Amino acid sequence: MKSQDIVWASQAPRWQDVAAVARYQARLSLSEEVWARIRNARDIVTRIQQQGVRAYGINTGLGALCNIILPDDQLSQLSRNTLMSHACGVGEPLKVEQTRAIMCAAVANYSQGKSGISPVLVQGLLDLLNHGITPVVPSQGSVGYLSHMAHISLCLIGMGEVDYQGQCIAASAALQAEGLSVCPLAAKDGLSLVNGTPCMTGLTALALDDATRLADWADVTGAMSFEALRGQVVAFDPEVLALKPSASIQLVGQRLRQILAGSQIIAESEGIRTQDALSIRSIPQIHGACRDQINYAIGQVDIELRSATDNPLVLGDSENWRVVSQANPHGENVAMAADALAIALAELGSVAERRLDRLINPLVSGLPPFLLSEPGVNSGMMIAQYVAASLCGENRQLAQPAVLDNFVTSALQEDHLSMGTNSAIKLLKLIDNLYNILAIEYLLAAQAYEFFDNEKLAPGTRQVWQALRTLVAPWTQDRWLAPEIKATVSLIRQQDALIPAA
């Protein structure tokens, strides 16, 4: 999927499509069926203009100015003014892949054919994606929608800056370099471009690409720590886990048994203690609960990608139409999903930190202090655990729900907001931290293996250990650890978790 072109037609958009376009440069296009829906909605907007019927966002002012009717000759200017006035974000710019994810989710919204946006603007967004032109978008300033898409949309009319071939240049110059034209604006276009939930939805879809990868890697690094700590594998007994009938718990238990199958270390350690600490024996229960939240977030994001989230929405056809002002742009479901996903991923990191802490503690590990044969003159892995603890502490802060915050905007017209974009942005920061936490567990568990006969490792864990050893040599004395953490993070980001087949 990562290298294939994607055509949205009768098959509904999925979060994997967004990740493929945003992160792996898959080309996106729409079927003729989708274009017909978009054109039909635009015909309705044209008919409303011709008939002079008052319709919010088509021939009225916006927000608290919704009762002011505008003449036809001002509607194009209203769309242009909407983009310029709403493009007031602040802070560091989003990453290229993050902006691309938002653009992709916006196209998904328009593909429902209920927005009434001019087709030329949808094609303009597709052209930006497929020609590698990415608007520079400040990361802060959204209460759920509006500002991020406004910055993106300015580039369609030749304003603002873009990332093009690794350089920050004027949008107009990038369009010219690719032979693309500036898009004209008409009635409702400005509102359709800034409205809806593409920002939070696109960013959360991108987060799901990481979350599913991290959940798999957490099972692997957890299994490595379990083996190095000589855990009691009876805790993963399928009959026992079946007594808590959760599909996610069963999945994690099965994977742990697959990864640890054939371990002489585990076999020789049977019965050395009655039970392990909870961070060791409850991996299926904790990781399984986290997977449940990932699955919940997947469901909510996919629903949103298949939704029409503009306001107003145009229904019917040019002969029999309705314009409905409603609240589909309110992204409460995505905001809650992003917050739930943040809590789950923070927990994955938290329990990993507890495991890696046990690896360096000779009182519980049975291994040399801080995983070096000559402690004292060497600090070993001592401070790596500090780093993991710090990141876990930050993740607890980032996991605080943003959806519970609330403010009043637009002169009381918008008096309840999802804050879903804030939820998604802090989720992505939390994910970066989790990559580092799991990389540290990976490094420490691999170092612990240096004190065992590696022939006694499970074939599954030996394969994972050897994959790391192609990048990072064993430690015999202190050396610069930061680059090795970074290299391990790159391995986890780029390589699927190595889980033996059942």
The per-residue pLDDT for 3 is: 53
The per-residue pLDDT for 439 is: 98
- DSSP labels, 358-425: HHH-HHHHSS-GGG-SSBTTB-TTHHHHHHHHHHHHHHHHHTS-STT----BTTTTB-----HHHHHH
The per-residue pLDDT for 106 is: 97
Query: Could you tell me which of 345, 311, 349 has the C-alpha nearest to residue 328?
Result: 311
Instruction: Write the CA distances from 440 to 13, 127, 225, 275, 394, integer angstroms.
Output: 36, 41, 11, 25, 16
Q: Which residues contact 473 (CB under 8 A, 6 or more apart)?
A: none
What is d(CA 293, CA 295) in angstroms, rounded to the nearest whole number?
5
The per-residue pLDDT for 59 is: 84
- Yes or no: say if 130 and 180 are a contact pair by the CB < 8 Å rule: no
Residues 463, 466, 472, 478: is their CA dihedral positive or negative? positive
The per-residue pLDDT for 294 is: 98
What is d(CA 457, CA 498) in angstroms, rounded to the nearest whole number?
15
Residues of the chain with pLDDT under 70: 1-3, 10-11, 63-64, 144, 408-417
- Domains of the chain as residue ranges with CATH: 6-195 (1.10.275.10), 204-494 (1.20.200.10)
Q: Which residue has the tokens 């990141």?
A: 391
DSSP strands (E only) in 25-131: 28-30, 90-93
Q: Which residues contact 216 (CB under 8 A, 6 or more apart)?
A: 496, 497, 499
- Yes or no: say if 38 and 113 are a contact pair by the CB < 8 Å rule: yes
What's the token pair of residue 458? 């499970």
